[in-house]
Chains A and B, each alone.
Chain A
Amino acid sequence: MSEKVLMKGNEAIAEAAIRSGCKLFFGYPITPQTEVSAYMSKRMPQVDGLYLQAESEVAAINMVYGAAAAGARVMTSSSSPGISLKQEGLSYIAGADLPCVIINIVRGGPGLGGIQPAQSDYFQATKGGGHGDYNLVVLAPSTIQECVDLTYKAFDIADHYRVPVMIMGDGMLGQMMEPVSFPEHDDSVSFDKSWACDTTGMKRKKNIVNSLYINPDELETLVWERQKRYDLITENETRAESFFCDDADIVLVAYGTIARVAMNAVKKARAMGIKAGLIRPITLWPFPEQEIADIAKTAKSFLSVEMSTGQMVYDVKLAVNGKCPVEFYGRTGGVVPVPQEILDKIVEISKKL
């Protein structure tokens, strides 16, 4: 474990990527994630890596496609409008079974929206913003330390399953500073990259990376094979954290920084004698359905708290599966809720129980 330093979320993600062996970064600046690029531009030359500011987000994601096809650990970063531009490239990367990491530091939308924090890209990230039968693994850190830990994890998941992995935080997580340390990166695990289009060395047949299949049967077979890998990811990589859920009547579900605001509200509710609890999904896809379903056996009500008009709440409803009511509280447009307003909602629900 290294000595603690003070870093912004954006910087911590960039440093963690470098320590994960990412030597190639292609990006295009956009608030509130520009420090990822700025940090990469300073650090990459020091580690014999490459930082390249592409001419657009579309170009950057296609550079990622190329580098991933060559077998490199590669990353790009953007914020909401820029991630929209990357969707075509993401679909191609998923269709070509390539590993890469995409950072999305979400701001208010739709359109240009604003530069303040939001979680309104949940649907886009977890339900496939691009076309085709594919999934992005979506990781949602809530602290700067977790930004580091999940960035390490993201590259390993990407390489192990040959899938694109997104780290999704809100603008606040990107901009705020917290003490952070960088655990020794475990470089001992190696990943099979015999599929990569690096060089044949005149010793083997050439590899082809492609997402076009002429014959429908062939495409169908490949899509189902990929689906089996998604099932494996769901089985092995689903993560959530729960607090005070064992005896909870009202269970809040919140991710990212908002989980910290919700946690504060839960503690205040407990102090008032209301049995509140919190589930914090760490993977948004795969969604921690089972964890929620288990708690739904004893809970009396769920409350999804989001910086959106209500997106994750649909996944919560599917997981709860009608066992009890699922309520929603949200702020959007760049407005961050404070604990008191969430507490007010908990109190309102408790009166209905």
Chain B
Amino acid sequence: MKRITIFAGHYGSGKTTAAVAYAKKLREQHEKVMIVDIDLINPYYRTKDAQDELDALGISVISPTYANTNIETPSIPAGVMAAFSQKDTYVVFDAAGDDDGAVVLSRYFMEFSQEEYDFFLVINSKRPLTKDKESIIMYKEDIERASRLRFTAVVNATNISYETTLSDIMEGEEITETVSKESGIPNRYTFVWDELYDSLPRELKEKAITVQLFHKKPWEL
């Protein structure tokens, strides 16, 4: 696990859920962990929704000042620079979806170029615009162009919310694998709902990171 990890992909693929789970995993091994929300697009369902849980774990959260309020200001918090200056801190970047969201990453092109980083393409084959290899590779190329960064791995986050089954994950895994082969970058992780972990085949368990659903709907409270 590198000091800097960036999550990007099609919007709604599960980037924030995966990024939060990844930050929690990093925290098991490292003293200082930070998650940076640079999503300037999505008005709801943000990293900040997990703030209490992340605070309790001692993971610092940097998010746009007005996240989860009644206004939108497409501005990046100044605190993001801490991710590059605090070399003893492991940092997870949670980018907004698509190439539009990845533009923000290009602002930090010079900073990212200073050291090695992981840049994960999050794949959810249950999203209708990224359901096959061709469409996923199109998004991959668009995001790389906008961010000026090259993905270092693909990760499978295939889910259909609370109806996700093992076969959905396996189908997503197969597509993720073909994207990995076609683009020559490794298939690194599978993000899986904690309730489904036990049903995974052994080889998937080794690369699986469990996620909890933290974006609760008001009728689920």
A residues near B, CB below 8 A? Answer: 4-8, 11, 15, 31-32, 42, 108, 113-116, 171-172, 175-179, 257, 260-261, 263-264, 333-334, 336-340
Contact = CB atoms under 8 A, between A and B. Distances in A.
Contacts of A333: 70
A152 B70 CA distance: 32
A338 B221 contact: yes
B45 A31 contact: no
B43 A171 contact: yes
Contacts of B126: 4-6
B160 A260 contact: no
Interface in B122-142: 124, 126-129, 131
Contacts of B127: 5-7
Contact of B131 (A5, A15, A176, A340): A5
A259 B69 CA distance: 24
**Interface of chain B: mostly helix, strand, loop or mixed:** loop
Contact of B218 (A108, A177, A179, A336): A336
A254 to B, nearest CB: 11
Interface string B36-51: 0000001111000000
13 contacts: A4-B163, A5-B160, A6-B127, A6-B159, A11-B12, A31-B72, A32-B43, A114-B71, A116-B44, A175-B44, A176-B44, A260-B217, A260-B219
A177 B11 CA distance: 11
B103 to A, nearest CB: 15
B113 interface: no
B140 to A, nearest CB: 16
Contacts of A264: 219
A25 B130 CA distance: 23
Given A5-B131, A8-B12, A31-B72, 12 more contacts: A4-B163, A6-B127, A7-B127, A15-B128, A115-B43, A116-B70, A177-B12, A179-B161, A257-B218, A257-B219, A338-B218, A340-B221
Nearest to A43: B129
Given A42-B129, A115-B70, A6 B43 contact: no
Contacts of A42: 129
B71 A339 contact: no
B221 A115 contact: no
A274 to B, nearest CB: 18
Given A261-B219, A338-B221, A175 B43 contact: yes
A261 B159 CA distance: 24
Nearest to A39: B129
A6 B124 contact: yes
Contacts of A336: 218
B163 A179 contact: yes
Query: 3 closest pairs, A vs B, by CB?
Result: A114-B70, A260-B219, A175-B44
Contacts of B70: 108, 113-116, 333-334
Interface string B69-88: 11110000000000000000
A4 B160 contact: yes
A137 B108 CA distance: 49
A273 B116 CA distance: 62
B217 A6 contact: no
Interface string B92-114: 00000000000000000000000
Given A31-B72, A115-B72, A337-B218, A6 B44 contact: no
Contacts of B71: 114-115
Contacts of B45: 175-176
A263 B128 contact: no
A134 B54 CA distance: 52
Interface in B158-204: 159-163
A338 B127 CA distance: 29
B129 A339 contact: no
A339 B217 CA distance: 11
Identify which of A172, A176, A177, A333 gathers the most chain B CB atoms within 10 Å of its CB. A177
Nearest to A262: B219
Contact of A171 (B44, B129, B217, B221): B44
A181 to B, nearest CB: 10
B96 to A, nearest CB: 12
Identify which of B69, B128, B162 gathers the most chain A CB atoms within 10 Å of its CB. B128
Identify which of B44, B72, B124, B131 gathers the most chain A CB atoms within 10 Å of its CB. B44
A188 to B, nearest CB: 25
Given A6-B12, A6-B161, A114-B71, A32 B44 contact: yes
Contacts of B161: 6, 177-179
A338 B216 CA distance: 11
Contacts of B219: 257, 260-261, 263-264, 339
A6 B13 CA distance: 9
Contacts of A172: 44, 217-218
B211 to A, nearest CB: 14
Nearest to A7: B128
A336 B159 CA distance: 26
